[in-house]
Chains A and B, each alone.
Chain A
Amino acid sequence: MSAPKQMLLNLRVEWTPTLENYVAGGNRELISRLRGLADPRCFDAVYVWGSEGCGKSHLLNAVSVMGRPPRTILSFTGLTAPAEIPAKPGALLLIDDVQDLSAEAQIGLFRLFNSARILGLSFLLTGPCAPLQLTVREDLRTRIGQSMIYEVQNLTDDEKKSALQRHARLRGMRLDDNVVHYLLRHGRRNLPSLMAVLDTLDRLSLEQKRQATVPLLRELLQTSFELDPK
Chain B
Amino acid sequence: MSDFWSACLLRLERELPAQQFNTWIKGLRVETAPDNAAQVTLIAPNRWVLNWVRERCLTEIESMGRDFTPKSVSVSLAVDDATEPLATSSILDSDAEPKTTPSDIGPTLRDPIAAATGHRPARSIRFSDPVFERTRLNPEFTFDTLVTGRANDLARAAAQQVSQNPGVSYNPLFIYGGVGLGKTHLIHAIGNAIYATDPSKEIRYVHAEDYFSDVVRAFQQKSFDTFKRYYRTLDLLLIDDIQFFNKKDRTQEEFFYAFNALVEAKKQIIITCDTYPKDINGLEERLISRFDWGLTVAIEPPELEMRVAILKKKAEVEHVDLSDDVAFLIAKNLRSNVRELEGALNRVMAFARFHGRPIGLDVAKEALRDILGATNRQITLELVQKTVSDYYRIKVSDMFSQKRTRAIARPRQVAMWLSRELTDRSLPEVGDAFGGRDHTTVLHACRTITSLRFKDTVLNNDLHVLMQTLKS
By a beta-carbon cutoff of 8 Å, the part of chain A in contact with chain B is 29, 32-33, 35-45, 49-51, 53, 70, 86, 88-90, 107, 111, 114-120, 122-123, 129-133, 138-139, 141-143, 145-151, 185-190, 193, 221, 225-226
By a beta-carbon cutoff of 8 Å, the part of chain B in contact with chain A is 19, 23, 46-49, 51-52, 83, 85-86, 102, 105-114, 116-119, 122, 125, 136, 138, 178-180, 207, 209-210, 241, 274, 337, 339-340, 342-343, 346-347, 350-351, 354-355, 369-373, 375-376, 378, 424-429, 439, 443
Q: Please report the C-alpha to C-alpha distance between residue A141 and residue B179 in the assembled complex, in whole angstroms.
A: 10
Are the C-beta atoms of A151 and B370 separated by less than 8 Å? yes
The answer to whether A117 and B138 touch (CB under 8 A), given A40-B85, A129-B376, is yes
Q: Which residues of A contact B105 (CB under 8 A)?
A: 43, 117, 120
The answer to whether A148 and B346 touch (CB under 8 A), given A36-B119, A39-B112, is yes
Q: Which residues of B contact A119 (CB under 8 A)?
A: 48, 52
Are the C-beta atoms of A151 and B339 separated by less than 8 Å? no
Are the C-beta atoms of B339 and A145 separated by less than 8 Å? yes
List 7 tightest A-B contacts by C-beta distance, closest first.
Answer: A36-B112, A89-B48, A130-B373, A146-B343, A145-B340, A142-B180, A42-B112
Given contacts A130-B372, A142-B339, A226-B428, 19 further A-B contacts (CB under 8 A): A29-B354, A32-B117, A32-B119, A33-B350, A40-B85, A51-B424, A88-B23, A89-B49, A117-B106, A120-B47, A130-B376, A132-B340, A138-B179, A148-B346, A151-B370, A188-B425, A189-B425, A193-B424, A221-B426
Q: Please report the C-alpha to C-alpha distance between residue A115 and residue B105 in the assembled complex, in whole angstroms.
A: 12
Are the C-beta atoms of A151 and B369 separated by less than 8 Å? yes
Chain B: which residue is nearest A120 at the CB level? B48
The answer to whether A186 and B49 touch (CB under 8 A), given A41-B86, A130-B370, is no
Q: Please report the C-alpha to C-alpha distance between residue A130 and residue B374 in the assembled complex, in whole angstroms.
A: 9
Summarize A's interface: helix, strand, loop or mixed: mixed
Q: Which residues of A contact B179 (CB under 8 A)?
A: 138-139, 141-142
Chain A: which residue is nearest B209 at the CB level? A111
Are the C-beta atoms of A89 and B46 separated by less than 8 Å? yes
Chain B: which residue is nearest A107 at the CB level? B209
Contact for B426 among A53, A123, A145, A186, CB less than 8 A: A186
Q: Which residues of A contact B178 (CB under 8 A)?
A: 138
Q: Which residues of A contact B429 (CB under 8 A)?
A: 188, 226
Min C-beta distance of B351 to chain A, whole Å = 7
Q: Which residues of B contact A45 (CB under 8 A)?
A: 109
Are the C-beta atoms of B136 and A118 separated by less than 8 Å? yes
Q: Please report the C-alpha to C-alpha distance between residue A107 and residue B443 in the assembled complex, in whole angstroms.
A: 50
Q: Which residues of A contact B83 (CB under 8 A)?
A: 70
Are the C-beta atoms of A146 and B108 separated by less than 8 Å? yes
Contact for A53 among B343, B354, B369, B424, CB less than 8 A: B424
Are the C-beta atoms of B86 and A146 separated by less than 8 Å? no
Are the C-beta atoms of B109 and A32 separated by less than 8 Å? no
Are the C-beta atoms of B337 and A35 separated by less than 8 Å? no
Q: List 27 A-B contacts (CB under 8 A).
A: A32-B118, A33-B117, A35-B117, A37-B112, A41-B113, A42-B113, A44-B110, A44-B112, A49-B370, A89-B47, A107-B209, A117-B105, A117-B138, A119-B48, A120-B47, A129-B373, A131-B340, A138-B179, A142-B339, A145-B337, A146-B339, A146-B340, A146-B343, A148-B346, A185-B427, A188-B429, A189-B425
Are the C-beta atoms of B424 and A188 separated by less than 8 Å? yes
Contact for A39 among B106, B113, B274, B339, CB less than 8 A: B113
The answer to whether A43 and B370 touch (CB under 8 A), given A90-B46, A118-B136, A186-B439, is no
Q: Which residues of A contact B339 (CB under 8 A)?
A: 142-143, 145-146
